[in-house]
Amino acid sequence: MQKKRVTIYDIAKALNVSASYISRALNDHASISEKAKEKIKKKAAELNYKHNALAANLRQGGSKLLGVIVPLINQRFFSDTISGIEEICSDKNYSLLICQSHENFAKEVHAVDTLIKQNVEGILISVSSETNSSEHLQNILTHDIQLIQFDRCLDELNSIKVENNNLEISYKVTKNIIESGYDKIAFLGGPNHLSTFKNRKDGFLKAIKEFNLPIPFNFIQEDLLVPENSYKVARELLLLKDPPNAFLTVSDHQSLAILRLANELQIDVPNDLAIFGFANEDFTTITNPFLSSVDQKSKELGRQAALAFFAKTNAERVRGEKIEPIIVESEIMVRQSSKKI
Amino acid sequence: MQKKRVTIYDIAKALNVSASYISRALNDHASISEKAKEKIKKKAAELNYKHNALAANLRQGGSKLLGVIVPLINQRFFSDTISGIEEICSDKNYSLLICQSHENFAKEVHAVDTLIKQNVEGILISVSSETNSSEHLQNILTHDIQLIQFDRCLDELNSIKVENNNLEISYKVTKNIIESGYDKIAFLGGPNHLSTFKNRKDGFLKAIKEFNLPIPFNFIQEDLLVPENSYKVARELLLLKDPPNAFLTVSDHQSLAILRLANELQIDVPNDLAIFGFANEDFTTITNPFLSSVDQKSKELGRQAALAFFAKTNAERVRGEKIEPIIVESEIMVRQSSKKI
DNA sequence: TTGTACGCGTTATCAC
DNA sequence: GTGATAACGCGTACAA
């Protein structure tokens, strides 16, 4: 006794009109009188009719679906970007298909595939730390699906990108650390093939150079997004004869690991060691001391990514020109962990 | 010059066979030789063909889509349940349509509507704190869509439910608090129309009764999920002549607010005030002191909810019997905030 | 093993 | 205003 889905035909039959008439009425076509519309809508509600998006989308080509791929949904930074994306999409009556790559390239490729099959109209992605090839993203464009990269972007791919002013803010942060009285700054970066992290490193180097600080080469490390790895490397550095007195990380999760390490080693943060990170995660104001960080305006980042989709300004791509990235200005949040008392 | 989507017809034409043949080959039908399958799959890849889930789903009735509605995606507890759900679904090749209610009833109703229109096969929901009516959920069943409630459930609705052993664990926690030397325990609950919170309150009351503790009626408060409200109420209580020396909350977010309050009022946690919560959020081991909590096994909760969908044991519903809830055992995590030093 | 014909539910188009 | 019909892309009886 399977209940069948109620269709416009059922309404049509009940009202003794044609199905196409119902369709138009339900879609508020101009050619139909208000009175008829009302009557039909009432009947539809009465029969508990629900629009079948599948059929409509098949017919119309579009799916009103957007795909989002992020490394981890439970990092506050990413869930905030998703909130921003959702805000715009629910305005436009688009739904979100959300996937996690779990920082794993294979899963990311699979997610892209799934989303293409689900007929999404656009894919908004912040790539995994492992992602060093853009073939799968290229594939998105091949299928005529909008591609918008945000936060973590592959430089080589000419797509719409929404990023922070990473180089500039990293430069400013480093300058701030130096001016706060720290002179031996170690940089714990991310995978350098992602422009996000490369830019943060370059900003750091720019400031170091400007202030003529002699930083040993092993103070500059890459690919340490996983907190445990940051912990290990930081530990080695802190046990050196001449250890760093400041850490600039590219994520608060690294900063947190270092704070834990400092506690274990009984190092006084901030007086003997400064810590500064990125993302402005919630926990930065729960730790003791509070962690200095860069507010990346994550929600706005998401909003801009979604808006970029709806703007559909990919005219550049068609013409083969380089698409200029959309920049979301970030903000320095100097807290206790980088200010000597 | 819009590129058209490649369909099985294009492959068929290229290979001089019929479209249905292609369809079967791509779906690994037994009636087709391995050799032919291989050839067709190769050609499909070559033409960059992607299966159109929209069309297939329309044809087959199902959508291979599951809808998930949670209050807030960026609360670790919920993102963990989603991770669990996703784990099972990606096994079964189902995709997830994720919506947030933002603890708002109207948004929740809208989300349900969207998901039905998107033709999801099942909806997994943890209702908003405002949700006090089940009409919209009833509507899901009317449309013959599986409904699985998890964590926050509406009792009145006879649907599959996946919950913690809330009453029992709350009883145990309260007992633990009492046996740790606290005798004036205040309970800061959630909306009582949700069985989750009602059970936690009942567990609390059971222990109080058993130990014969004289708890003033205003020590028992409800509907305080919003941390700011917990803060306000807790403040009033702590400023009483005879204030509580312990708080049992129903979420770590409330606990955190109270810890902040205690710091402001310079109350010694845990020696003069115990705090105990639910959810085992990450930050419970970042705060100082660490916060005692109940590990709800959030990921397992999600896994069980998804498995319940695939088990399709709703035979009970059809027969009108009461569906027994699936229970996920939670675990007490006694930390610094409820142990006197 | 392969092809034909049809239907899933909707909407666009044309005709009246 | 209103109705008939085709088409979106796929899967599946049924036939061959």
Contact B117 A58 (CB under 8 A): no
Q: What is the mean pLDDT of residues B267-281?
A: 97
CA distance A255 to A293: 9
A311: containing domain: 65-161+298-325
Task: For residue A286, give the nearest of B53, B113, B283 by CB distance.
Answer: B283
* Distance from CA(A7) to C1'(D6), angstroms, rounded: 19
Contact (CB<8Å) A143/B50: yes
Residues A176 and A278 in one domain: yes
CB distance B15 to B40 below 8 Å: yes
Domain assignment present for residue A174? The answer is yes
Token reading at B224: 């305080």
Do the strands B292-295 and B331-333 form a parallel or antiparallel pair, or are they unpaired? Answer: antiparallel
Beta carbons of B286 and A282 less than 8 Å apart: no
B171 with B290, same domain: the answer is: yes
Chain B interface includes A52 (CB < 8 A): yes
Q: Is the same domain home to B143 and B193?
A: no
- Residues B165-187 pLDDT 10s: 999 999 999 999 999 999 999 99
Whether the bond into A270 is cis, omega within 30 of 0 = yes
Mark whether B193 and B150 lie in a shared domain. no
Residue A1's pLDDT is 34
How confident is residue A2, by pLDDT bands cut at 50, 70 and 90? very low
Within a domain: B58: no
Q: A48: closest CA among A1, A14, A92?
A: A14
pLDDT at B1: 33
Helix (H) or strand (E) holding B87: helix B76-91
| Tokens coding B125 | 């929901």
Residue A301 reports pLDDT greater than 60: yes
Is B57 in contact with A57 (Cβ distance < 8 A)? no
For residue B292, what are its two tokens?
Answer: 């005692």
Q: What is the pTM of this model?
A: 0.91
Q: How many CB atoms lie within 10 A of CB A324?
A: 9
Q: pLDDT, tens digit, for every residue of B4-54? A: 789 999 999 999 999 999 999 999 888 888 899 999 999 999 998 989 989
Instruction: Give a yes or no: residue A204 inside a domain.
Output: yes
Task: Give which of B84, B282, B71 is closest to A252, Cα–Cα.
Answer: B282
* C1’ D16 / CA A63, Å: 38
For A249, phi then psi, to 5°, come to -110, 170
Summarize pLDDT for B124-144 with one digit per residue, the tens: 999 999 999 999 999 998 888
CATH of the domain at B236: 3.40.50.2300
> Does pLDDT of B2 surpass 50?
no
* Interatomic CA distance for residues A217 and A186, integer angstroms: 9
Is B3 inside a domain boundary? no
What confidence score (pLDDT) does residue B316 get? 55
In a domain, B192, yes or no: yes
* CA–CA separation, B63 and B66 (whole Å): 8
pLDDT for residue B62: 81
pLDDT in tens, A189-228: 999 999 999 999 999 999 999 999 999 999 999 999 999 9
Q: Are residues B51 and A282, on separate chains, in Cβ contact within 8 Å? A: no
Considering the domain architecture, whether residues B290 and B183 belong to the same structural domain is answered as yes
Tokens at residue A291, please? 């962690």
Summarize pLDDT for A7-63 with one digit per residue, the tens: 999 999 999 999 999 999 999 888 899 999 999 999 999 998 988 989 999 998 888
What is the pLDDT averaged over residues A274-292? Answer: 96
Question: Is pLDDT above 80 for A331?
Answer: yes
Same domain, B130 and B181: no
B286 and B184 in a single domain? The answer is yes
In DSSP terms, which residues pair with A97 in a beta bridge? A67, B97
Averaged pLDDT score across all residues of chain B? 93
- The tokens describing A263, both together, are 């506690």
3-class DSSP assignment, residue B11 = helix
Place of tokens 């109703």: B109
Q: Do A2 and B144 touch (CB under 8 A)?
A: yes
Q: How sure is the predictor about B315, in pLDDT bands with cuts at 50, 70 and 90? A: low
How large is the average pLDDT for residues A95-114? 94
Query: Least CB-CB distance to A54: which of B83, B119, B286?
Result: B119
Chain A nearest CA to B155, separation (Å): 24
Both A126 and A188 in one domain: the answer is: no
Which pLDDT band, with edges at 50, 70 and 90, does A317 fall under? low
Cβ-Cβ contacts under 8 Å, B58 against chain A: 52, 54-55, 58
C1’ D8 / CA B97, Å: 23
Residue A155 has pLDDT above 70, yes or no: yes
The sign one gets for the Cα dihedral B230, B232, B234, B237 is negative
Q: What is the rounded CA–CA span in Å between residue A273 and residue A267?
A: 7
From B48, B57, B142, residue closest to A54, measured CB to CB: B57
Task: For residues B68 and B80, give the distance between their C-alpha atoms in angstroms, rounded to a whole number.
Answer: 13
Q: B49-103, pLDDT tens digit by residue?
A: 989 989 999 998 888 899 999 999 889 999 999 999 999 998 888 999 999 999 9
Among protein residues, the one whose C-alpha sits closest to the C1' atom of C6 is: B59
Rounded to the nearest angstrom, the minimum Cα separation between A309 and chain B is 18
Secondary structure of residue A320 in the 3-state scheme = coil
Enumerate the nucleotides of strand C whose atoms come under 7 Å of any protein CB: 1-5, 7-13
Phi and psi, residue B338, nearest 5°: -130, 20
Q: Is any atom of strand C within 7 angstroms of residue B31's beta carbon? A: yes
CA distance B101 to A150: 25
Number of domains comprising chain B: 3
